[in-house]
A and B are shown apart, each in its own frame.
Chain A
Amino acid sequence: MTDKYQFTEDGFLLSRRRFMAVGAAILALLALPVGWLGNRIAKRNEYIKARADALYMDDAIAKYRVSHANPAIARYYSEFGGEPLGHLSHELLHTHFVDRTKLKS
């Protein structure tokens, strides 16, 4: 037998597998126009600013602007909660955290 029927891959630049991967990456690039990310972030920041300004406005027009002056908070502590960091606060308003590197299922 000669080597006439032996298969050798074309001397093309890329292997078949590599060619597919590059093709897919190019398609991904086409899906997202150049400059998309910058535009996206600029537009996002416009929304953040508008919403944030509205909350700062809510603060500016508020009757009380400091948490310790909230009469409802004073009522909560006097009628029920006791005092900040008190026994009931510890039980109801504080928590503990979990080292999630040590959890097992």
Chain B
Amino acid sequence: MTATSYQPGEIRGLIQIDALKCKGCDACKQFCPTHAIEGASGAPHKIDEERCLSCGQCLINCPFGAIHETQSALDTVLTKLQDPNTEVVGILAPAVRVAIGEAFNLPKGQLLTNKLYGAMHQAGFKIFDCNFAADLTIMEEGSEFIHRLHANVRQEPDAGKLPQFTSCCPGWVRFLETEYPSLLPHLSTAKSPQQMAGTVAKTYGAKVYEMAPEKIFTVAVMPCTSKKLEASRPEFKSAWRFHQQHGSDAAPYADVDAVLTTREMAELLKRLDIHLPDVAEYKGDSLFSQYTGAGTIFGNTGGVMEAAVRTAHKVLTGEELAKLELAPVRGLEGVKEAELTIHDQQLKQDVQLKVAVVHDMGRNIRPLLEQVMAGTSPYHFIEVMNCAGGCVNGGGQPINGSGTSWVAQL
């Protein structure tokens, strides 16, 4: 019985350093949010897997390409795509569509939603845009926030904790679970969009696709390595439990069966000889490809907060925001904040809302958490993303140009 930070079944040690390639240059340590990388300068480094969040920031920033992932579902997914008895559903995260072009030598910052739909359709995926699930997240997490806010204003005894933290980022969630467990009641109980998408695909989606849920194979395509760890959490078998309660006796299955990073999706398309820039655009094949602008900005730091504020404003005041862009939460400042005065129809009074947005978590989050612990936090709602810039700079994104390739160019 030794202490561990993993539940049974969870992927551990996802990110590893190759001791033969490591020069001991310490660059990775600058990007690790939890100081999980050990080893003296000049000596090969090693990752302490108990502290590691699997965020992959060390991996994309290693100048020697010495860091890799120990798990890839690429071959499994290729096999499933060939299986006529399986419906493979591709759950596509927002940040993938603006980065995968780089893996096909397109300039950075190309928005390729419909081309990527086309390429995935050609490969045999059904399209489930994770932005649809992001919209769903806003409905749930936003409602939860309003619920907590009202309960606190009315000083109800069992009111949920404020500030509420967002719960979309698996690195951040694991960080709080390992280092600040006393603050877990502040986390929104809403699942991340990835996990909502997987669950919906195998419940409501089973009706939409007219398929038995156990024949649906969900593949999340993510800018993130930590999403692999999240998908492996043992509690995420909600669809299976749901069908079990309704009389199914199928063997247990996960809500999200496999996770591919942006890099692995690019590799998959290349293996299938699908050249993304030449693919015809495709609009999607079900309601699951309908998403809003609020859903798509989830990939940016500040995006979840901006999307939540748009919907909270409508719910609280009954009116749409005159200006949807929430400029103070955009950009790369480490901690951003915004204040809004909202006339709450239900409470019949003005409410002063103060929100904060944190990214590059390792450098910026601790002072805010100390405030919350001390009971002096001025905020009602805090968005946290582990990676600098948010998911667009996630550990699963293409490394070309933005990472180790500069060494290869020398």
Q: Tell me if A's interface is mostly helix, strand, loop or mixed.
A: helix
Q: How far is the CB of B61 from chain A (nearest CB, A)?
A: 7
A103 to chain B, nearest CB (A): 5
A32 touches B389 (CB 8 A): no
Q: Across the interface, which residues of B come within 8 angstroms of A13, CB to CB?
A: none
Asked whether B38 is an interface residue with its Cβ less than 8 Å from the other chain, the reply is no
CB contact between B110 and one of A54, A56, A68, A93 (< 8 Å): that residue: A54
B42 → A minimal CB distance (Å): 3
Asked if B204 contacts A103 (CB within 8 A), the reply is no
Instruction: Please give, as numbers and ranges, the residues of chain B lying within 8 Å of A98 by CB-CB distance.
Output: 7, 177
Chain A residues, CB < 8 A from B301: 52
Decide yes or no whether A34 CB sits under 8 A from chain B.
no
On chain A, the residues within 8 Å of B295 by CB distance are 67, 70
Q: Which residue of A lies closest to B2 (CB)?
A: A105
When C-beta atoms are compared, the residue in chain B nearest to A63 turns out to be: B292
Q: Is the CB of A28 within 8 A of B292?
A: no
**Binary interface profile of B, 20-49, with partner A (CB < 8 Å = 1, else 0)?**
000111110010000000001111000000
Whether the Cβ atoms of B5 and A100 lie closer than 8 Å is yes
- A93–B188 Cα distance when bound, in Å, is 11
Q: Which 8 A-B pairs have the closest CB atoms?
A: A24-B42, A50-B109, A59-B293, A48-B389, A62-B293, A65-B293, A72-B290, A67-B138
**Which chain A residues have a beta carbon within 8 Å of chain B's beta carbons?**
21, 23-29, 31-32, 36-37, 40, 43-62, 64-73, 75-77, 79-81, 84-85, 89, 91-105
23 A–B contacts from the bound complex (CB under 8 Å): A24-B42, A31-B64, A32-B23, A55-B98, A58-B94, A59-B294, A64-B293, A65-B310, A67-B295, A67-B311, A68-B138, A68-B314, A72-B135, A72-B290, A73-B132, A75-B287, A76-B136, A79-B204, A92-B239, A97-B173, A100-B178, A101-B178, A103-B6
